[in-house]
Amino acid sequence: MVNVGQLLETRYRRPNPLQNPAQAKLLDRAQAAIDACLTRPAQRVSITTNPSNFRIAVLAERLTMISVCNQQVPFLALCPSEANFPDKIDPRKELTFSFSAHVFTGREYEVMDKALPLLEERLGDTMCLFELGDEKLSWDKGMEPADEFYYRTFYHPIVLEEMARMDLPQGSLVVDPGCGTGNLLWEIGRRFPHLKRLGSDLIELAAVQAQILNPGVPIYVTDAQELSYVELGTVSLFICCGLINKSVVTKAEAKNILHQIIVRSQNYGLLAVTGKSPPHFKRDEMIELGFWPLLVTKWDRGGFIPFGVYLIPRKIDHGGGRFQIVPVFNELKEESE
């Protein structure tokens, strides 16, 4: 059994939700909903949907939760740990998924829909049940207009919401190394005028459009694997919105981009990662690469979304005239225990 009250952690040193009476009451209701859901026998469920709507995340490493987005009736369930799902499914075809689960009732779902954002720090990596294959985005033409619209209306608001929680101080530098036509940079400037912005894109036409949309913001035409326009150790927040994902770059290219990010970030800088296709790296892999996960999954619009926020903890050692990155993960572990 999971105790919701004991799961809470707060990213960006925000107040603990239990200190807010309304939020504490909501979490008590979520605990009751989980207990009631698990008390009922598991039932056989059959859902026909696009595989991209079907998402799985594990709460507190114990409760496997299934969400299905874009349904007439919202769906959220607790799944037995022994349930198995295929990991390579064509996302272009609707499929019927059949499985046993403890399904939340309508009223219980309403409670969980409000409570899960308070528990996001304890959600594991989002599991997406489809495989995109080896085809990558064509850098000759960039993102399709339909995809640009989808990012503006779905992912950008989530990024902006998370940035509001970060509460970055005056003059902090935010860099979007795959800014496309600059819509997200423009939205950041409108919402957070106290922040400095930089952007780049490999496609010259996109970079020109981004510059027109963001006058006064330096926009460069360059590969995200080459961020020499950014000074070492200066960035408060890097945003990779659809950049280091499986349909965009190879895993080796994603690693190169992350290396560029880590050496140009401030000590304890932040990296936000999301996108339409699954990210290349899961939580444990990001730790190995030098990024400390504050968040790997968000709950938004009735479903789990791969959305990572990573702290870049490092010490800068200029000894011997060399710039060296020294992770300090052990210190973080001691603080969290």
Q: Whose CA is closest to 224, among 252, 247, 201? A: 201
Q: How many helices (H) and strands (E) does the chain have?
A: 9, 15
Do 149 and 123 fall within a single domain? Answer: no
Supply the DSSP symbol for 245: B
- Asked if the structure places residue 121 within a domain, the reply is yes
- Asked if the structure places residue 108 within a domain, the reply is yes
Do 40 and 113 fall within a single domain? Answer: yes
Residue at a domain's end among 128, 157, 190: 128
Do 255 and 197 fall within a single domain? Answer: yes
pLDDT score, position 99: 85
Residue at a domain's end among 71, 98, 128: 128
Do 100 and 161 fall within a single domain? Answer: no
- Asked if the structure places residue 140 within a domain, the reply is no
Do 165 and 293 fall within a single domain? Answer: yes
Do 91 and 165 fall within a single domain? Answer: no
Burial of residue 169 (number of CB atoms within 10 Å: 0-12, 13-18, 19+): exposed
pLDDT score, position 245: 83
- Asked if the structure places residue 139 within a domain, the reply is no
CATH number of the domain enclosing 274: 3.40.50.150
d(Cα 305, Cα 294) in Å, to the nearest integer? 15
- Asked if the structure places residue 271 within a domain, the reply is yes
Q: How do 265-274 and 324-327 pair as beta strands?
A: unpaired
Do 162 and 282 fall within a single domain? Answer: yes
Domain count, the chain: 2
pLDDT score, position 336: 44
- Asked if the structure places residue 194 within a domain, the reply is yes
Do 105 and 195 fall within a single domain? Answer: no
Give the pLDDT of the chain (337 residues) as one tens digit per residue. Answer: 556 555 555 677 666 666 788 888 999 999 999 999 999 999 998 888 888 788 889 988 788 999 998 777 889 999 875 556 655 566 667 888 888 899 999 999 999 999 999 999 889 999 876 554 445 555 556 677 788 888 889 999 999 999 999 989 999 999 999 999 999 999 999 999 999 999 999 999 999 999 999 999 999 999 999 999 999 889 999 999 988 887 788 889 999 999 999 989 988 899 999 988 778 899 999 988 889 899 999 999 889 999 999 998 765 544 454 444 455 444 444 444 4
Domain that holds residue 50: 4-128
Task: Please give the model's pTM, rounded to 2 decimal places.
Answer: 0.86
Backbone angles phi, psi at 66, to 5 degrees: -115, 130
Do 210 and 184 fall within a single domain? Answer: yes
pLDDT score, position 42: 92
Do 116 and 257 fall within a single domain? Answer: no
φ/ψ bin of 262: left (φ > 0), alpha (ψ from -120 to 50), beta (otherwise): alpha
Tally Cβ neighbours within 10 Å of residue 94.
10
- Asked if the structure places residue 134 within a domain, the reply is no
Sheet holding 127-128, edge to edge: 43-49, 95-103, 75-79, 63-68, 54-59, 127-128
- Asked if the structure places residue 136 within a domain, the reply is no
pLDDT score, position 249: 85
Supply the DSSP symbol for 126: P
Q: Name residue, tokens 């598991």.
A: 42
d(Cα 307, Cα 320) in Å, to the nearest integer? 39
φ/ψ bin of 109: left (φ > 0), alpha (ψ from -120 to 50), beta (otherwise): alpha
Do 45 and 115 fall within a single domain? Answer: yes
Distances (CA, A) of 329 to 211, 241, 292: 38, 25, 7
Do 114 and 259 fall within a single domain? Answer: no
pLDDT score, position 25: 92
